[in-house]
Each structure stands twice: as structure tokens, then as C-alpha cells.
A and B are shown apart, each in its own frame.
Chain A
Amino acid sequence: MWLFKQLQAFGQQGVRAMEAMGRAAFLLLHSLTWGGPGSATWRDLVKQIYSVGVLSLLIIVVAGFFVGMVLGLQGFTILSNFGSVSALGTLVSLTILRELGPVVTALLFAGRAGSALTAEISLMKATEQLSAMEMMGVDPLKRVITPRLWAGIISLPILTALFSLVGIFGGAFVAVDLVGVDTGAYWGNMQAAVQFYEDVVKGLIKSVVFGVVVTWIAVYQGYDSVPTSEGIGKATTQTVVISSLAILGLDFVLTALMFGGI
């Protein structure tokens, strides 16, 4: 009897999750396009890119530098066992361009910008600003969600590119200046091994996908939140958790499709 109840609860949760996904899909489709009375303008988009992208720069660049340095150091330690230290540049750059760049940037973005977006939208819902817009005949999705969604999609690839570049230089700093790898070996082998379309571009494609997914989750959680102070907190947490899982899961799928030939 107890087991039956558990199954029932589980099933109900599943149904609710399905409903949520349906609402989320509708939100995405409806918000990708611009236009309508009172909807957002270029200025709103620029303001959002500032708040979501530019303000995340510091954390992304600092993180990128540290990640690159750690890779350089660890890579050096491991490769010296095989006498293949000349492959360090290749190791650092491929790891960052293909995996760490897109994934770590997206995770940090979800934590910093994603949670901020969710909190902001959730607060607007709780203070009835969204209802007020509806009562004035303005579509709150077009006014509030659309510019934020596009700001995220545009910002994340840019942030990823910066993370990757800074990371590779961070690795170079450790390799060449700290542990004495030959600078020619670091950069030369890297250039031979890294291909623009295969590695750089595919990494950026990943970041575009992540940008869509993370921003979508953040915006949906805010819009669908319970309009109380607890609700805001819960929605914000959900954004970070769900985004992180989605990023990691999608990363596997994308890697398999793009690099693994599964």
C-alpha cells in the first residue's frame, strides 16, 4: 500500500514535470521573437547584455586564468612521467577549447547571471509588475523575457571565448615561465594540433547551446515561481541546480556528437 502511494506520488511528480516542460517550451517559443506593443527595444537588449555579460567578465576571466594555470601545472606533472612535456600546449589548449571552456564558463554563468535573472524576474512577479503589464495590454514575455533571453544567448559564447583565451595563456604562463617548458614547444605543437573548425568553433557551438539552455532555464524559473519571498529563493536555487545538471548532461551528448562519432 505504501509502495503504491509512493509510485502514485512519483507519477504525479512526473506529470507535473511534463506540464512544467510544456510551459517552458511555450515560454521559449513565444519569447524568442520581438515585437508587439510595449515590448523590449534595442536599448533593453544592450542593458541586459551589460548586466548579464559584462558584469560576469571578472569572474569568468579570473576563473579562466586559474583553470589554465592548474591545467598547465597538472599537465606538466603528469606528462613529465612520459617524457612528453612538449605535448603540454596541446593538452592545455584542447582540454580548454573543447571541454573546460564551454562547460566551466556555462556553470559560472548559471551561478552568477542565471540566478540573478531568476531572482529579478521572480521579484517582478511577486510585486505584481508582470500582472500590471498584462492589465495595461503589454505582453510581459515580450517586454521582460525576450531581451534577457537574447542577452544570454549572445553573451555566453563571448564569455567562453574569453575564458578559453585567458586559460590558454594562463597555461602558457605556468608552462613557460614557471616550469621551464620551451615556449616554441608549447605554442608550436599546440598550433599543429589545434584546428580552428574542429576545436575552436565546435567549442563555441557548445557555448551557444549552453547559452540558450541556461538562460531559458533561468528565465522560466523566475517566470513560473511562486510569488512569495520563499518562492524567489526556491526558484533561484532551482535555476542553479537544473542548469548545472543540464550543462553537464548536454556536454556529454554534444561531445559524443561532435567529437566521439558515437
Chain B
Amino acid sequence: MSDSYISMRNLSFYRGERAIFKDLSLDLPRGKITAIMGPSGTGKTTLLRLIGGQLAPDAGEVRVAGRNLQSLSRTEMLTLRRERMGMLFQAGALFTDLSVFDNVAFPLRTHTKLPESMIRDLVLMKLEAVGLRGARDLMPAQLSGGMARRVALARSVAMDPELIMYDEPFAGLDPVSMGMIVKLIRGLNQALGLTSLLVSHDVQESCSIADYVCVLSGGKVIGFGTPQELKDSDNAEVRQFLRGEPDGPIPFHFPASDYAQDLLAGAN
């Protein structure tokens, strides 16, 4: 495995009394697409926020590009985010008061002193890469879900980051849009040499593009490897998840009393 771009050691994170992560250790390789999967509520989005520094762990450390996030000052953290990270939010999170062009230009205008002409070129290039150069004057409200997500993708690569995190990029898309996003994620990863981190429920699509898959459950890593390795895994829960089986270690029935007795009790 190539050197890790992100590594977490003994990470613990609590929300109130509940431990979302307990003693989690994970290495995410540089330059590859890693998919993070797991049942709903295991804190996949929380993990992204911990990596992005929006949340601080209660114990343990998170290292990005070799630097411990805890040790960074506020300014250093902001710089790290600005220059190295891009994030694609679930619904795109485009700024509704700006046009498509202005949305993609936003990070460039905010963080660089580039002249407008250069910014224009960069924005058009990014939009072309996602196939939406012609839509540049539309407002976010006029875009379909798939288009909005592509614009958001263009925006997240505007500053040429090293790491991109995708929060449920396939959720709620029609097959065509999904195909486009898949193509873009893989294409960008190769073309720009990015490290991509993909959080998703969609096993099929994720496995089709991911180099590595990491399965989380109960606040721990229960499987890490290539998609094929995990499909043949010893761990029953991992297999259930990857094969989409409705019943297994993750039970179909919510804990309840005996069925016959429950029905009979109502008859009295």
C-alpha cells in the first residue's frame, strides 16, 4: 500500500453519552479512491467532518498529509482546508444567491488574487470538465439534482486540492446522472492525482470505482480491503452488507416479544 494520506489512531468521538467511534484506527491511501460504507447511523458523515477538522475528536489523533489536526492553529487549519481539501456535500450545497459561474469562481475569488480574466478561464475549464460549461449563467434553483451536484464538484476542485471527500454522491440520482458522477469521480481522481474519499450506501456503484473499501459498523472498522477481498470476507456482517442481504448479523426484525403471544394478547 502506498503511503497514507490520512491516518487515524485510537480515535474516539462521543455524541452526548453515545460513542460514535471508539478507538478507531484507519489508514487511507494516497492517490486512490477509498469508499467508506456501513449501515445508516454509523457516523460516516461524522468521520468526514473529523477529517475536515470541523469536529475535534474526544481522544486519539487524526493526521492529514502527515500533519496532526489537533496541533494546528486556526489559521493553519483554514489554510489546510483551503489548499488541500475539497468537499462535495450531499445535495451539492451550492450558494443559492450566486449563479453557477459565481459558485465555482467563489473559492478562487475569495482565496486568490488572480485577475478576473484568469479566474474566468479556470472556471470555464472546471465547468467543461463536468460538462456544464453552457450552464454557467443559470441559478442553482434552475438546476436538476444531478446538474447541481456536478457544479458542486467543479467548485470543490476549483482550487486543485489534494483530497476530495464525497458525502453520499450517488444518493437520489437517476441512472444517467449517476453514470456521469461515477465517470467524473474516477476521471478526476486519475487526471488530478487526487486522494478520494467516498461515503456511500450504494454498494454497486461504490465498488465499481473504489480501489479500496472500508466497512464501518458499531464505531469500528470491520473490514478493509479491495472490493473483491471484502466480498469474499470471513466477516458475516461485511458479507451481508456488500451483498445486500436483507437479514443476517444486521437483523431484519427490530427486537420484539414473541410473535404468537403478541397476537394472542390482543385477542383478549
Contact = CB atoms under 8 A, between A and B. Distances in A.
> Which size bracket describes the interface of A in this complex?
10 to 19
A137 B83 CA distance: 9
A128 B93 contact: yes
Looking at B85, B93, B94, B96, which has the most chain A CB atoms within 10 Å of its CB?
A: B93
Interface in A123-158: 124, 127-129, 131-132, 134-138
A45 to B, nearest CB: 14
A134 B96 CA distance: 16
Nearest to A133: B95
Nearest to A139: B78
A135 B87 contact: yes
Interface in B89-112: 89-91, 93-96, 106-107, 110-111
Contact of A129 (B52, B96, B107, B110): B96
B186 interface: no
B54 A38 contact: no
Contacts of A138: 110
B78 A137 contact: yes
Given A38-B110, A136-B107, A138-B110, A128 B54 contact: no
> Which size bracket describes the interface of B in this complex?
20 to 34
Contacts of B96: 124, 127, 129
Contacts of B107: 136
B106 A134 contact: no
Given A134-B54, A135-B54, A37 B110 contact: yes
**What does DSSP make chain B's interface, helix, strand, loop or mixed?**
mixed
Interface in A170-200: none
Contacts, number: 44
Contact of B87 (A37, A127, A132): A132
A142 B95 CA distance: 15
Contacts of A37: 110-111
A38 B106 CA distance: 8
Interface string B200-223: 000000000000000000000000
B79 interface: yes
Contacts of B111: 37-38, 136-137
Contacts of A136: 81-82, 106-107, 110-111
A39 B23 CA distance: 38
A134 B54 CA distance: 8
Interface in B50-99: 52, 54, 78-79, 81-82, 85-87, 89-91, 93-96
Given A135-B52, A136-B110, A129 B94 contact: yes
B93 to A, nearest CB: 4
A128 B89 contact: yes
B93 A129 contact: yes
Contacts of B94: 129
A137 B91 contact: no
Contacts of B95: 129, 132
A128 B110 CA distance: 19
A229 to B, nearest CB: 13
Contacts of A135: 52, 54, 81, 85-87
Given A37-B111, A137-B81, 7 more contacts: A38-B110, A38-B111, A129-B93, A129-B95, A132-B89, A135-B52, A135-B81
Interface of B: 52, 54, 78-79, 81-82, 85-87, 89-91, 93-96, 106-107, 110-111
22 contacts: A37-B110, A38-B106, A124-B96, A127-B93, A127-B96, A128-B91, A129-B93, A129-B95, A129-B96, A131-B93, A132-B93, A132-B95, A135-B54, A135-B85, A135-B87, A136-B81, A136-B82, A136-B106, A136-B110, A137-B79, A137-B110, A137-B111
